Chain A
């Protein structure tokens, strides 16, 4: 960058862009004295503004200088609102001026800017607080100077556009020291009357003339209104604090009246359009219904009712044919089934016969086998019984042996008993109690 060689126009172009994009140089207030004033035939003004040390060239385009309310003279002390720019042809800084006031009222200007900023910060100008303006107000309240041009303009505009006659005028002082308090009381009075909309208006004038509309309390009263309000104060170029805080700011009193009511001629045209839309819509609706009705009416069945069952008859034939075709498919299956049935029957018969034969054989042999078995068992039983008898203690007792018991225990040896002990002697046919006399060894 530092080594690059610049052309003069590149340099000035860059400087111009740098300066003009800087927000700190946009719409700033500058005070000084006018010198070298020239009103060019194009309508633009060229002059310088200077103080005791410096000076800078200024241009004020005709679209802006038209609203300047005094004739600038050499040496006039002025306050301007301007943006800094660069005029590359001469390599000069210059100011593009938007508005100009004589410095005597510079204080008012500063006050205005300060109040505007303050109320802006408080949110009084916020769109969120702006009430919608009704389209067809039934009742309108106008706060304006008594018999002022503004009031006449408004009344005429309202009457020629929407002459519904429901207009109330609240005549107020619109300039001078008691104008603010007067405007405030009229606004409050009008607000109580439940108008659909209010107009606050004043014709054009100098900044001092319009000053009542830059009053803080007027602004706060407007903000506090329950009725929507449209302002039309001064000319296009004048924007007062009241304008900022109003629900709608019209450029002039006439414009305010135009905003508040529609022109009945426009509404007539619109009404006519609505009527045409109505007719068109109902015709379309009717046509649609008619088409549907015609279609239904033309439905062939009404003329040839046979059609109602004709299709069904065709269907029936079709299904019958399908069924018949199906029967052909079934026949071979049936035959196979029958064949299998026969086969099964044969097998079953054969099996049955075999089983019957073996059963017959079993039946003949069974009694012999059982009897044999019974005889065998009978013999065994007799032998067993004899054996059982031989081993029975009762059999032994019959042969002359006895059993000796003492205290429920069978005595097997002499050692078990002592003299004087009671014993029980069992025979095959009864028992005796005895006492041991003495013991022999």
Chain B
């Protein structure tokens, strides 16, 4: 349906994986593959958030480091 995984979908899936692993119902093989998928999602989301960080730093420079109001 969507051309790429949305951040929301990734975070939801990550949450699902963490809950699944914490329930401890899957086999070791399944758990490892879930773990791998989870780490991949973390990496993707983290990369996106890091790009946000860079962008925000640039924006702050442009705005002259103004503080958030309200």
Chain A residues in contact with chain B, CB under 8 A? 134-136, 138, 153, 156-157, 159-160, 162-164, 252, 254-255, 258, 264, 267-268, 271, 274-275, 277-278, 281-282, 284-286, 288-289
Chain B residues, CB < 8 A from A159: 55-56, 59
Residues of B within 8 Å of A153, CB to CB, are: 69-70
Inter-chain contact A135/B28, CB cutoff 8 Å: no
Please judge, given known A-B contacts A135-B8, A282-B21, A285-B31, whether A275 and B70 are in contact too, CB under 8 Å. no
Closest to A288 in B: B24
For residue A283, give the distance in angstroms from its CB to the closest CB of chain B.
Answer: 10
Complex Cα distance, B68 from A157, in Å, reads 7
Known: A136-B7, A271-B46, A285-B24. Contact between A163 and B55, CB under 8 A? yes
By secondary structure, the B interface counts as helix
Distance in angstroms from A415 CB to nearest chain B CB is: 129
Complex contact A164–B52 (CB within 8 A):
yes
> Which residues of A lie under 8 Å from residue B11 when comparing CB positions?
135-136, 267, 271
Would you give the shortest CB distance from A199 to chain B, in whole angstroms?
Answer: 15
**Does A278 contact B52, Cβ atoms closer than 8 Å?**
no
Q: How far is the CB of A4 from chain B (nearest CB, A)?
A: 56
3 A-B pairs with the lowest CB-CB distances in the bound complex, closest first: A281-B21, A136-B8, A264-B52
**With contact pairs A163-B52, A282-B32 given, residues A134 and B22 touching in the complex (Cβ less than 8 Å):** no
Check B56 against A163 for contact (C-beta < 8 Å).
yes
Q: Tell which of A163, A255, A274, A285 touches B42, judged by Cβ atoms closer than 8 Å.
A: A274
- Interface contacts (Cβ under 8 Å), in number, total 88
- A233 CB to closest chain B CB, in angstroms? 14
A-side binding surface: helix, strand, loop or mixed?
Answer: helix
Cα–Cα, bound, A264→B56 (Å): 10
* Chain B: minimal CB distance from A316 (Å): 40
Q: Which residues of B contact A281 (CB under 8 A)?
A: 18, 21-22, 24, 31, 35
Q: A259 vs B53: C-alpha distance in the bound complex, in angstroms? A: 19
Interface size class of B (residues with CB under 8 A): 20 to 34
| CB proximity of B29 to chain A, nearest CB, Å | 10
Q: A268-B49, A282-B35, A285-B31 are in contact. Are A254 and B55 (CB under 8 A)?
A: no
A281 to B35, CA, bound (A): 9
Docked complex Cα distance between A136 and B45 (Å): 12
B6 and chain A: residue at smallest CB distance: A138
Q: Could you write out 9 A-B pairs with CB less than 8 Å apart?
A: A159-B55, A159-B56, A162-B52, A271-B49, A277-B18, A278-B17, A278-B38, A281-B18, A281-B24
CB of A325 to closest CB in B, whole Å: 51
Which residues of chain B (10-38) have a CB below 8 Å from chain A?
11, 14-15, 17-18, 21-22, 24, 28, 31-32, 35, 38
Docked pose: A350 CA to B8 CA in angstroms: 108
A residues within 8 A CB of B53? 264, 268
Q: How far is the CA of A369 from the CA of B2 in the complex (A)?
A: 124
Q: With the chains together, A359 CA to B26 CA distance in Å? A: 92
Asked if A275 meets B55 with Cβ closer than 8 Å, knowing A160-B68, A268-B49, the reply is: no
- B15, B32, B52, B55: most-surrounded residue (chain A CB, <10 A): B52
Residues of B within 8 A of A160 (CB): 56, 59-60, 68
Q: Once the chains are docked, how many angstroms separate the CA of A289 from the CA of B69?
A: 52
A260 to chain B, nearest CB (A): 13
Chain A residues whose CB sits within 8 angstroms of the CB of B60 once the complex forms: 160
Q: Would you call A138 and B7 a contact (CB within 8 A)?
A: yes
Chain B residues with Cβ below 8 Å from A157 are 68
Closest chain A CB from B23 CB (angstroms): 9
Complex: A274 Cα to B11 Cα, angstroms:
9
- In the assembled complex, the Cα of A252 lies from the Cα of B68 at a distance in Å of 13
Contact flag A163-B22 (CB < 8 Å), given A138-B7, A264-B52: no
Task: State whether B49 touches A267 (Cβ < 8 A).
Answer: yes
- For A278, the chain B residues whose CB sits under 8 A away are 14, 17-18, 21, 35, 38-39, 42
Complex Cα distance, B55 from A160, in Å, reads 8
Instruction: Give A314 to B40 CA distance when docked, in angstroms.
Output: 57
Cβ–Cβ contact B22 & A277, under 8 A: yes
CA separation between A271 and B41, bound complex, in Å?
10
> B68 → chain A, closest Cβ, in Å?
7
Tell whether A163 pairs with B17 under 8 Å between CB atoms, given A138-B7, A282-B35: no
